[in-house]
Every structure is written in structure tokens, then in C-alpha cells.
Structure 1
Amino acid sequence: MTIVMEENKPNNIKKFLNFEFSSEEEKEAFIESSETYSEYKDIIELFENVKSVDYDKDGALEKLDHARLKPSVNKKRVIPWQKKWLPMYVAATVVLFVSVVLFNIKNNLEHHTLAGEFTQISLPDASKVWLNAKSDIAYNKKWEKSRAIDLKGEAYFEVAKGETFTVKTPQGTVTVLGTKFNVKQRHTSFEVYCYEGRVSVMYNGKETILSANNFFNSKALDKHIQTTTSVAAKPHWIEKMSVFENTSINDVVSDISIQYDVEFNMNNNLNKDLKYTGSYHYDDALETVLNILCESLDLKYVKKGKSIYLNKK
């Protein structure tokens, strides 16, 4: 990119970046009158906040100085190139880093939800995303070039037909052309449920193809592909409900903690293989949810602030 400087002020940007203005008045005059400053305002102001880069110049160059050029016969002083150019190199590196950060910030769109929240997002191609509680997605503004989303947490997708649509999570990747599916990535768990069409799931370097009413569970010991007998048009959480069918106690309390922003502590004597079948609505009071859970599994609980302590009766 060519930077066009104001007439008679070719060194102003350089002076600004090197903090060489003779006074605050000169600096303010440059900021108010400079078109160049306005064009690169974000990068210049971020660079100004850096002020100076701390580095041990003498220590870093100690070994290099041993190999510096010896003075010539006429005793003319030779300045080692490292000392002459390293500060400028460091400054240039900072500018480049700031530029890259600004580029990514300006070209990415992000959506976040807190505990107990969920939201619906419409994508540029008319695809729709429902984002569950405590989840994050990010994608590039130039959506037409690559239909790709980064996901942490849980989201349900209704994908418009078109080019390949990819959902990337820290544990696996889901690829489709046009379909309806749910992706859940929590801690060490990775699940994909296909509601319509077909989806490709890439996990640990192995591809698995799911068709409608099939789901993938990374925790399954015998096989990853499973079929459900419960046919639903969408995930229950979109209707503000969590439904469990012979679900481990760990997964149940994890789900409750996400919706109610609490932390569970289970006594060491508690059977971690307990399974729970039931449901709750997100509008239910936390105490109601806990009472039903404990009554079903013969447990008791103590609530202290945002901590829930579970134990056997």
C-alpha cells in the first residue's frame, strides 16, 4: 500500500511512531490536520500505546558484538548493523503485529452467550444458527468465499444449500452441503446429531457419515454412530428444555450448571455411574430442578452461593 504524506511533511509519521515531536502542541497539530493520521488512526494509536519495546539490547547483542567489524586503517568508526537496525526492526515488528490483529478483528464476526442464554443468528446465505448457553461462534465477514464457522459450546444449524459448510470445534469438524444438525462440544465431549440430510464428522483423523436420526458420540466405547428412537424436529434446548434418557449424572449436572451458572461438587462416596431419565424447563427454579433430580436418584444437596454439593442420602 502506498502512503501519501501531506506536502512538506514527509517525516511526520516517522516522527510520530518514534515519539520525536518536540512538543505536545506539534503532535496535536499533526493529529488535527493530517489526512494520513485519519486513514491509519487505529494502527497509529495502538502503536502509540505500545510506547517503547523493552528488550535487553546489550544482552541480546553480546555475542553478536564479539563478531563486529574491526575499525579500518583510517580509524573510521564502524557501527555494528545490529545496533543500528535492531530497534527499527523491533518497531516494525510491533506495527506488523498490530496490523494483523486489527485485520482479524475487523474481518471476523463473533457471537457469545452467557449461562442460561441462547440466541438465534442469521448468516449471509440465509443459513440459521441457534447458539446454546455459554457458547461462542466466529466467522469471516467475507462469507461468500468460505462458509466456515468456529464453535465452542453447542449450536444447532439449519444450513442453506450451496457450497460446503464447515463447523470447526477444538475436538472435531463437521462438514455438510445443506442440512439440519446439532453440534455439542463441552470439555472432553464431542457430539453431533443429524436431523435432516447427511453430515460428515471428522474426529481423531477418522471420518464418520451420519444420516437423519443418527448421532455421533465421542464417548461411545463400542461404536460412534448411534440411532435414536426419539424423533424430534429440533433439539429440545431450543424449546428451553433439557431431556435426559439414561444419561450419566456427570452429563446431567454439567447441563444444569450451564443453564443456571452454578458449580457442582459431588462427594467421593457418590456413585458416578448413576443414570438419570427425566427433564426440566429452563424457566423452572433451580431448587425445583435439584429436588426432582435428588428424589429420583436418592440424593441430597446443599447449596452455598453458586456451589451445589451432592451426596447420598
Structure 2
Amino acid sequence: METQKISKLITDFLSGKLNLAEEMQLLKWVKETQSNKDFFLKQQALFEQELIQNKDRQSSESWNRLQAKIAPYTKQKPVFRLQNAQLRKVLAIAAAFVFGVIISSVVITNWPSSEDAQTVRNVATPYGARTQFQLPDGSTVWLNSGSKLSYPAQFSKTRRITLEGEAFFEVKKGRPFIVSTSYGDIRVKGTSFNVKAFQDEAFETTLVTGLVQIKGNETGEEILLQPGFQAKQERGRLVVSEVETELFTSWKEGKLIFRNEYLPEVTKSLERWYNVHIELANDPQLSGIYFSGTVEMESFPEVMELLKTTASINYTFDEITRTIRITKK
């Protein structure tokens, strides 16, 4: 492909002007060689530099937004405030279609100028993104797509945080550490574990190391979880089972692993992972389809083609609304 043509294709891609066929053409080219990928990143840097020089984007917040796009490739972990809808759209599309998912794109609100213990910090990741950061006590958090975590600027005797969505924690030993969710509280000390607490999905906690205690808000049910086990909400109760923890924690490494997952559950994960909306046709057969596979650095079109082949489905894609409609073959 001619250099001039590919340069224009990349610029149009970063500007959100390409259609799905053109995006797939670019994706194929980028993945062919390392030099192609390097060229893409170079063109992206030039594109960002032009945005920086634009007088309409001279504010510090605009600079932070641009750094958010650079972060996945420079391995930096800056703090961002993302407000401009167009730049966020470009960022989400670029990472999701070319490199699978944004490594670090985060909205932080109520960030205090002084270390007031009463100040609450809210960290949120949009669909198509995930981020990693540290809490005031040095504990590490990986926050998955479409999730929000709230915590105080300074912990008191009890380290209490609130989670909506999904996160993996590596907790420093010390004072009691409590994760509050809509289902209930998870109490830990020095532990690594995953919590999934989306509003429209079953609550689950998967323990990798250490020990956690789970207490339901409504039922008052208390469960002590051992490493290698998972507690999952089923019909209002927690059911404990031994699991392969990697299946539930691999997302923080940039992988989604599905093992005999029904299609509706798969599509929920893909919606958050790629920042798209997926509709299933009103067909009972679709709910009975299950899928096994690993999604790592694949683009969304590649994943949909994989589903089409292995799950016997057809799909259409509305580029304007980024909506996929799935039907049975």
C-alpha cells in the first residue's frame, strides 16, 4: 500500500471518518508487520501534535485527553479528565479496532487540592477502556470497562471503598479493607481477588490468594471464601464453587476467556470491551447458543467474524450508532 494512501487512511481513521470496510483494511495492514504498526504509531503521534498546536485545544484538559491516547503505547499511567465527546470517540475507536482495548483511559472527579480525608475520589472507566491505579494505602486496583470505584483521599481505621462494575484488587496487608457493592460487603486483609458487581448481572467474587468474607445486604448471608473458589449470586443466594481463576481475572491482562458461555453473557462482555451496543434478535435459539474462545488483541470485526463462524450467527453493523444486531443463521 502506498505511503501517501496509508497516511491518509490512518488520519481519517483517527478522525473517525472511515467506514467498517476501510477500518478492517487498515487493521489488516497494521497487523501484517511490526514496521506497519510502528508507522501507524508514528502517524498517530503526528496527528496528536497537530491537535496540540490547534488553538482551540490549548487547554490543559485537552492535553490530558491527548495523553490518554498515547498512554497505551508509552506505558505511562497519567491522571485524566475526559470531557470532549469527539476525542473520546476517536480514542475508543482507535484502540478498540486496532489494538483490542484501551489500556488507560479514565475519568476522575472530585480530585481534591488538599488531602482531606472526607473528600471522595471517583474513578470511572468508559466502555472500551480499562485502567490500573493505586489506592492511598498502596493497594493496586485494575478497573474494568464500564466500571466506577469511589474511595476516600485518606483511609481511616477501616479502608472502605465502593464498587459499581468489575475490578481486581491486590490489597496491602494492614487495617480491614472493605469493598461495598450493591449486593453486599467483601471484607479482606492481604488478598488478591476479583469482584463483579454490575447492576444488571449476577454478583460474583473470585479469590486468587488470601481470605475474604462476603456478607449480603438483604439476606445477611455470610460466606468465607478460600483461594481458588468463587461465590456467585444465584436466585438471591450465594453459591460457592471451585473455579479456574484465570477465566475470571484474565481481563486485567487484556484477555477475555470464554468457556461454554451463553451468547447473551458473551455479548455483554463484548459491549463493554469494545464500546459498542449489541442487540439479539427475538429468537429463543440465540439464547441457547454458547461460545468458547479467547479474545486478546483481536479487533471487534475479527471477533464478530469468529462468532459468525463458530456460533452460526449473522450480524449487521450500524456505523452511525455503533450497534450490532445478531440473528440466527
TM-score by length of 1: 0.62
Question: What is the aligned counterpart of 1:273 among 284, 288, 300?
Answer: 288
Tell me which amino acid in the other structure corresponds to 2:225: L
Say whether 1:174 aligns with 2:186.
yes
The offset of 1:198, in angstroms, is 1.3
Q: Which residue number corresponds to residue 136 of structure 2?
A: 124
In the TM superposition, structure 1's runs of 4+ consecutive aligned residues that sit over 6 Å from their partners are 220-223
Question: What is the aligned counterpart of 1:109 among 112, 121, 125?
Answer: 121
Question: How many Å separate the matches in 2 of 1:148 and 1:221?
Answer: 24
Question: What is the aligned counterpart of 1:224 among 239, 242, 252?
Answer: 239
The offset of 1:242, in angstroms, is 0.3
Tell me which amino acid in the other structure corresponds to 1:301: Y
Question: How many Å separate the matches in 2 of 1:200 and 1:263?
Answer: 35
Q: Indicate if the aligned counterparts of 1:195 and 1:234 stay in contact, CA closer than 8 A.
A: no
Q: Indicate if the aligned counterparts of 2:129 and 2:273 stay in contact, CA closer than 8 A.
A: yes
Question: How many Å separate the matches in 1 of 2:173 and 2:212?
Answer: 13
Instruction: Report matched runs for 1:238-253 at 5 Å.
Output: 238-253=252-267
The offset of 1:154, in angstroms, is 0.5
Question: How many Å separate the matches in 1 of 2:246 and 2:317?
Answer: 34
The offset of 1:289, in angstroms, is 0.5
Unaligned runs of 5+ in 1: 1-103
Specify the SS of the correspondent of 1:235.
Answer: helix
| Structure with larger Rg | 1
Question: How many Å separate the matches in 1 of 2:121 and 2:250?
Answer: 27
The offset of 1:182, in angstroms, is 0.4
Counting matched residue pairs gives 209
Unaligned runs of 5+ in 2: 1-115
Q: Indicate if the aligned counterparts of 2:206 and 2:248 stay in contact, CA closer than 8 A.
A: no
Instruction: Report matched runs for 1:96-245 at 5 Å.
Output: 107-186=119-198, 187-203=200-216, 204-219=219-234, 224-228=239-243, 230=244, 232=246, 235-245=249-259
Question: How many Å separate the matches in 1 of 2:174 and 2:239?
Answer: 28
Partner deviation per Cα, 1:196-232 (whole Å, 9 max, x = no partner): 011111223211111001001113799610111x354
Question: What is the aligned counterpart of 1:289 among 299, 303, 306?
Answer: 303
Q: Which residue number corresponds to residue 312 of structure 2?
A: 298
Shift of the 220–141 alpha-carbon distance from structure 1 to 2, 3 Å rule, reads same
Q: Which residue number corresponds to residue 20 of structure 1?
A: none
Question: How many Å separate the matches in 1 of 2:315 and 2:117?
Answer: 44
Shift of the 178–106 alpha-carbon distance from structure 1 to 2, 3 Å rule, reads closer
Q: Which residue number corresponds to residue 99 of structure 2?
A: none
Question: How many Å separate the matches in 2 of 1:180 and 1:263?
Answer: 32
TM-score by length of 2: 0.59
The offset of 1:150, in angstroms, is 0.5
Q: Indicate if the aligned counterparts of 1:301 and 1:308 stay in contact, CA closer than 8 A.
A: yes
Say whether 1:307 aligns with 2:323.
yes
Specify the SS of the correspondent of 1:268.
Answer: coil
With a CA cutoff of 8 Å and minimum separation of 6, indicate the structure with the bigger relative contact order. Answer: 2
Alpha-carbon RMSD across the aligned residues, in angstroms, is 2.3
Question: How many Å separate the matches in 1 of 2:290 and 2:236?
Answer: 17
Tell me which amino acid in the other structure corresponds to 2:276: V
Q: Indicate if the aligned counterparts of 2:247 and 2:257 stay in contact, CA closer than 8 A.
A: no
Tell me which amino acid in the other structure corresponds to 2:325: Y
Tell me which amino acid in the other structure corresponds to 2:259: E
Q: Indicate if the aligned counterparts of 2:151 and 2:160 stay in contact, CA closer than 8 A.
A: yes
Shift of the 241–200 alpha-carbon distance from structure 1 to 2, 3 Å rule, reads same
